[in-house]
């Protein structure tokens, strides 16, 4: 049986192991709304030639992963009248991690089917639960239920270690646990529970190291930079940004590299280094221009792209004393941030209000912009990070226009919403 040397060469060129290619193909399948059905064995069958013509959806995913047609990868369709032999795969079902009840989000982690050993399909099932958590974060923001659900997922992944079929599966379980723990840490950051976030990030970085997972490692350093900002440790935030830039994935993949540079730019702007901030922002834009934005990516990174970088530009411009450019960037970001990222749209709206306020445009900042945030987040308590940003806005408002009637009216609304939250 002749092996598929073209596929093997493509994998070597991209740095994929069999397990990593299975993950990449499954990520593409799930991004298109299909079930992830590819395992290590599936890839092995492709490489050995046992499967010469993958399933149509798998072929489509392979084309997306490698940028080559199935024929260029030396797959060949069966002769007319013959059915291709493919090893049947057990379907991998997405799991529902979150069940909504009246006024409350209950986090529920569904147990895996008991098996003699834990393999690729189990890892896929565990990882798919992260998508539901990140969708909730995009809408509502960080809160206790989200953190608990994420930690339950991490605990389940670590609990499967002893049943892992191989050392490779053990590492992938560590990777899943790192992602869940980083999700819990992010929830704590968004809720402004800094001590809790610190301990969770420390744990997530350890797990990412055990997994040898540079994507999880970058995610943790990105969160460390945000936590350092909350603590006014801006030099630490700069160092965390550089640590994110030094990860393997940031050096190899321009999308991840762009996020690392953008986070460093924000840290420099908080430190008051205008030149370094703009330089890092330029690097972030250059990297993003090179990124393939339609490639599969982890669900936690779904938020990042041109619109989010523009929103981050608004932050940087305002902090270096350029509110006019900040306002322009905020308008541009709000025109492009997808509707499902409700929390991010509310944050960008607050940034727009700040930029208007810093130009002494009190009426626009109060009435037409800042009050919109409450409508955007209607129905859910505001996460701590947003409440803190609104607090910054209110302090600037009463400093610049303590006697304006619109300032007093907005202050009454702010205190009422704060009490409700």
- What is the pLDDT averaged over residues 249-275? 96
pLDDT digits (tens, 9 = 90+) for 324-366: 999 999 999 999 998 888 888 999 999 999 999 899 887 776 6
Whether the model pTM is above 0.85: no
Q: Three-state SS string across the chain, please?
A: CCCCHHHHHHHHHHCCCHHHHHHHHHHHHHHCCCCCCCCHHHHHHHHHCCCCCCCHHHHHHHHHHHCCCCCCCCCCCCCCCCCCCCCCCCCCCCCCCEEEECCEEEECCCCCCCCCCECHHHHHHHHHHHHHHHHHHHHHCCCHHHHHHHHHHHHHHHHCHHHECCHHHHHHHHHHHHHHHHHHHHHHHHCCCHHHHHHHHHHHHHHHHHHCCHHHHHHHHHHHHHHHHHCCCHHHHHHHHHHHHCCHHHHHCHHHHHHHHHHHHHHHHHHCCHHHHHHHHHHHHHHHHHCCCCCCCCHHHCCCCHHHHHHHHHHHHHHCCCHHHHHHHHHHHHCCCCCCCHHHHHHHHHHHHHHHHCCCCHHHHHHHHHCHHHHHCCCCCCCHHHHHHHHHHHHHHHHHCCCCHHHHHHHHHHHHHHHHC
The answer on pLDDT for 281 being more than 80 is yes
Query: 167: pLDDT confidence band, cut at 50, 70 and 90?
Result: confident
In the predicted model, what is the mean pLDDT of residues 243-266?
96
pLDDT, one tens digit per residue, over 191-213 is 899 999 999 999 999 999 999 99
């Amino acid at each position: 049986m002749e092996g598929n040397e073209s596929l093997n060469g493509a994998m070597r060129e991209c740095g994929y192991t069999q397990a990593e290619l299975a993950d990449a193909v499954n990520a593409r399948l799930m991004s298109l709304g299909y079930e992830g059905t590819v395992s290590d064995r599936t890839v092995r069958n492709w490489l050995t030639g046992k499967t010469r013509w993958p399933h149509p959806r798998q072929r489509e995913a392979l084309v997306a992963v490698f940028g080559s047609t199935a024929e260029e990868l030396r797959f060949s369709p069966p002769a007319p009248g013959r059915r291709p032999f493919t090893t049947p795969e057990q379907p991998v079902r997405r799991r529902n991690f979150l069940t909504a009840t009246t006024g409350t989000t209950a986090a529920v982690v569904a147990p895996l089917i008991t098996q003699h050993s834990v393999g690729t399909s189990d890892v896929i099932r565990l990882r798919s639960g992260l998508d539901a958590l990140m969708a909730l974060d995009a809408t509502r923001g960080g809160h206790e239920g989200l953190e608990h659900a994420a930690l339950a997922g991490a605990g389940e992944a670590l609990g499967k270690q002893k049943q892992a079929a191989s050392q490779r599966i053990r590492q992938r379980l560590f990777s899943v646990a790192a992602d869940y723990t980083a999700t819990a840490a992010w929830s704590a950051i968004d809720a402004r529970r800094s001590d809790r976030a610190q301990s969770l990030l420390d744990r997530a970085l350890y797990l990412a190291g055990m997994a040898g997972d540079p994507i999880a490692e970058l995610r943790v350093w990105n969160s460390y930079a945000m936590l350092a900002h909350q603590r006014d440790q801006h030099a630490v935030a700069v160092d965390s940004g550089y640590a994110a830039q030094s990860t393997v994935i940031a050096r190899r993949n321009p999308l991840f590299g762009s996020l690392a540079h953008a986070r460093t730019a924000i840290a420099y702007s908080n430190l008051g280094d205008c030149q370094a901030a703009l330089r890092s922002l330029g690097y972030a834009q250059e990297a993003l221009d090179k990124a393939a934005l339609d490639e599969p990516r982890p669900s936690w990174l779904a938020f990042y792209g041109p619109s989010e970088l523009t929103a981050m530009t608004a932050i940087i411009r305002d902090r270096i004393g350029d509110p006019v450019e900040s306002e322009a960037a905020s308008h541009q970001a709000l025109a492009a941030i997808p509707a499902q990222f409700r929390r991010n749209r509310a944050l960008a709206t607050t940034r727009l209000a700040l930029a208007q306020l810093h130009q002494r445009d009190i009426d626009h900042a109060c009435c037409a912009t800042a009050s919109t945030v409450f409508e955007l987040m209607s129905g859910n308590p505001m996460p701590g990070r947003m409440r803190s940003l609104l607090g910054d806005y209110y302090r600037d408002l009463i400093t610049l226009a303590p006697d304006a009637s619109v300032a007093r009216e907005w202050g009454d609304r702010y205190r009422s919403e704060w009490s409700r939250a």
